[in-house]
Amino acid sequence: MTRTTLRIAMNGVTGRMGYRQHLLRSLLAIREQGGVDAGDGTVLWPEPVLVGRREHALRAIADRHGLEHWTTDLDAVLADPATDIYFDAQITSAREPALRKAIAAGKHIYCEKPTASGLAGALELARLAERAGVRHGVVQDKLFLPGLRKLKRLIDGGFFGEILSVRGEFGYWVFEGDWQPAQRPSWNYRAQDGGGIVADMFPHWEYVLHGLFGRVRSVQAEVVTHVPRRWDERGKPYEATADDAAYGVFRLEGGAVAQINSSWAVRVHRDELVEFQVDGVEGSAVAGLRRCRVQHRSATPKPVWNPDLPLTESFRDQWQEVPDNEEFDNGFKAQWELFLRHVALGEPWGWDLLAGARGVQLAELGLRSAAEGRRLDVPELTL
Ligand SMILES: NC(=O)c1ccc[n+]([C@@H]2O[C@H](COP(=O)([O-])OP(=O)(O)OC[C@H]3O[C@@H](n4cnc5c(N)ncnc54)[C@H](O)[C@@H]3O)[C@@H](O)[C@H]2O)c1
């Protein structure tokens, strides 16, 4: 088959997300499967150019995976007409300036969330990209999780009737780093480095709520730093200046109420690291990363509150598993494939920098709501 090669400058490829999800599980997996079938006898073939600050780290990754191209010179790779796409999975605070450069160089843009540190910057990026006429996209991986895909299927099939509420629970204990190393990078816990769970997770909640139930109309949040002192990658103690838990209430278009707890200071007593319970008049569902279970109104038990009697039923066992009915690929890879098709074939695409800006907006308003102790409307964004 003829190959249409798309050369992708990947910045931040030494990081957790850049390496594992985007290089290994997405682009290299796409190459392993023979590329993306364009449907006309040709395949789209991603050619990564690893970009970063540390030569030895880039070289090690390139050698490990037999990749030819890597560089520490971002400007040079952006000036290179052979580069088609700029992808960014750097730490959040480094993203905006790099995206600006890439847009100015006329490259198509794909990047991790949040797209910028503040709404003004995020909107400006969306405007610049539109004006430059480049194609642009933001990672919204949670929409591609099997559990949420099944939940979407239920919504599209009218399972819930009127949807009343959404309850989300996300989080796990992130070790402080003293007696056991932390399992997340330390910049996540420093506000000055772009950290914080609101900046990290509210962009996800925006597109999940928006994509499944409707636009977020208002936000009210309590934001806390539960663990004030942590130890970094070198074992040095530091002050955790960023929030590590957020308790948010969101009013959705259509009237449903969503309430989502996000915490890196919680121990898991759930089936999955994130779970959403959706209650509708006709039925309810609990969806996680992989699983989705339902209870229809016809099979809803009638518990009676009586603390004097021991429980005689197992509530969890009263739910029914939603079958996969299809194969689910890695969510990051699935979205990459769609983006490559969007760039090369002009296929439709809904997760652009304006959508990314909505995520940044919700994070910004969530933090402001907490600081001011009040509920805030979320104005609709336009370019
Ligand atoms: N979509 C998701 O589910 C998801 C999950 C986690 C993180 N993220 C996002 O991905 C991005 C990267 O997160 P990560 O967890 O992979 O972080 P990480 O610390 O593991 O990686 C950060 C990358 O940025 C590079 N970098 C550039 N400038 C830097 C600087 N000044 N200091 C430190 N590193 C610098 C590092 O070399 C590294 O390649 C963040 O914006 C984060 O919000 C998304």
Asked if residue 104 belongs to a domain, the reply is yes
Confidence of residue 1 (pLDDT cuts 50, 70, 90): confident
Burial-class residue 294 by CB neighbours within 10 Å (0-12, 13-18, 19+): buried
For ligand 1, mutation pick of 21, 74, 91, 99 (most atoms within 8 Å of CB): 91
Q: Over range 272-277, report the average pLDDT.
A: 98
For residues 17 and 72, state if they share a domain: yes
For residues 163 and 283, state if they share a domain: yes
Ligand 1 center–CA 375 separation, angstroms: 31
Q: In terms of pTM, does the model score above 0.95?
A: yes
Q: Residue 292 pLDDT > 90, yes or no? A: yes
Average pLDDT, whole number, for the chain? 97
Q: Report the percentage of the chain scoring pLDDT > 70.
A: 100
For residues 301 and 154, state if they share a domain: yes
* CATH code of the domain containing 160: 3.30.360.10
For residues 192 and 305, state if they share a domain: yes
pLDDT 10s digits, 325-358: 999 999 999 999 999 999 999 999 999 999 999 9
In terms of Cα–Cα distance, which of 96, 112, 92 is closest to 196? Answer: 92
Domain count, the chain: 2
Asked if residue 381 belongs to a domain, the reply is no
- Say if CB 262 and CB 246 are below 8 A apart: yes
Task: Give the 3-state DSSP-derived string for the chain, with helices as H, strands as E and coil as C.
Answer: CEEEEEEEEEECCCCHHHHHHHHHHHHHHHHHCCCEECCCCEEEEEEEEEECCCHHHHHHHHHHHCCCEEECCHHHHHHCCCCCEEEECCCHHHHHHHHHHHHHCCCEEEECCCCCCCHHHHHHHHHHHHHHCCCEEECCHHHHCHHHHHHHHHHHCCCCCCEEEEEEEEECECCCCCCCCCCCCHHHHCHHHCCCHHHHHHHHHHHHHHHHCCCEEEEEEEEECCCCEEECCCCCEEECCCCCEEEEEEEECCCCEEEEEEECECCCCCCCCEEEEEEECCEEEEECCCCEEEEEHHHCCCCCCCCCCCCCCCHHHHCEECCCCCCCCCHHHHHHHHHHHHHHHCCCCCCCHHHHHHHHHHHHHHHHHHHHCCCEECCCCCC
For residues 320 and 336, state if they share a domain: no
What phi, psi does 44 have (nearest 5°)? -90, 130
In terms of Cα–Cα distance, which of 334, 286, 356, 15 is closest to 143? Answer: 334
138-173 core/surface letters (b: 16 or more CB in 10 A; e: else): bbbbbbbbbbbbbbbebbeeebbeebebbebbbbee
Asked if residue 278 belongs to a domain, the reply is yes
For residues 174 and 307, state if they share a domain: yes
Measured CA angle at 15 (ends 14, 18), to 5 deg: 85
Asked if residue 356 belongs to a domain, the reply is no
**Which ligand 1 atom is at minimum distance from the Cα of 142?**
3
Rounded to whole angstroms, how far apart are CA atoms 11 and 52?
A: 6
For residues 325 and 337, state if they share a domain: no
Asked if residue 311 belongs to a domain, the reply is yes
Helix axes 119-132, 353-372, angle to 10 degrees: 170
pLDDT 10s digits, 241-263: 999 999 999 999 999 999 999 99
User: Looking at residue 30, what is its pLDDT?
Assistant: 98
For ligand 1, mutation pick of 11, 13, 17, 25 (most atoms within 8 Å of CB): 17
Q: Residue 178 pLDDT > 90, yes or no? A: yes
For residues 24 and 63, state if they share a domain: yes
**Which ligand 1 atom is at minimum distance from the Cα of 332?**
1
User: Looking at residue 25, what is its pLDDT?
Assistant: 98
Q: Residue 372 pLDDT > 90, yes or no? A: yes
For residues 42 and 57, state if they share a domain: yes
Asked if residue 119 belongs to a domain, the reply is yes
Confidence of residue 8 (pLDDT cuts 50, 70, 90): very high
pLDDT 10s digits, 32-52: 999 999 999 999 999 999 999
**Which ligand 1 atom is at minimum distance from the Cα of 52?**
37
Task: Give the closest residue (by CA) to ligand 1 atom 27.
Answer: 90
For residues 177 and 258, state if they share a domain: yes
* CATH code of the domain containing 83: 3.40.50.720
User: Looking at residue 260, what is its pLDDT?
Assistant: 98
Q: Determine which of 123-127, 173-177, 281-285, 308-312 has the lowest per-residue pLDDT on average.
A: 308-312
Please tell me if the CB atom of residue 242 comes closer than 6 angstroms to any atom of ligand 1: no
What phi, psi does 202 have (nearest 5°)? -60, -35
Confidence of residue 295 (pLDDT cuts 50, 70, 90): very high
Q: Residue 188 pLDDT > 90, yes or no? A: yes
- Say if CB 117 and CB 93 are below 8 A apart: yes
For residues 225 and 93, state if they share a domain: no
Asked if residue 382 belongs to a domain, the reply is no
Ligand 1 center–CA 87 separation, angstroms: 12
Q: Over range 195-222, report the average pLDDT.
A: 98
What phi, psi does 178 have (nearest 5°)? -85, -65
Q: Residue 115 pLDDT > 90, yes or no? A: yes
Q: Over range 275-295, report the average pLDDT.
A: 98
Asked if residue 344 belongs to a domain, the reply is yes
Residue 276 domain boundaries: 144-329+361-376
User: Looking at residue 78, what is its pLDDT?
Assistant: 98
For residues 14 and 150, state if they share a domain: no
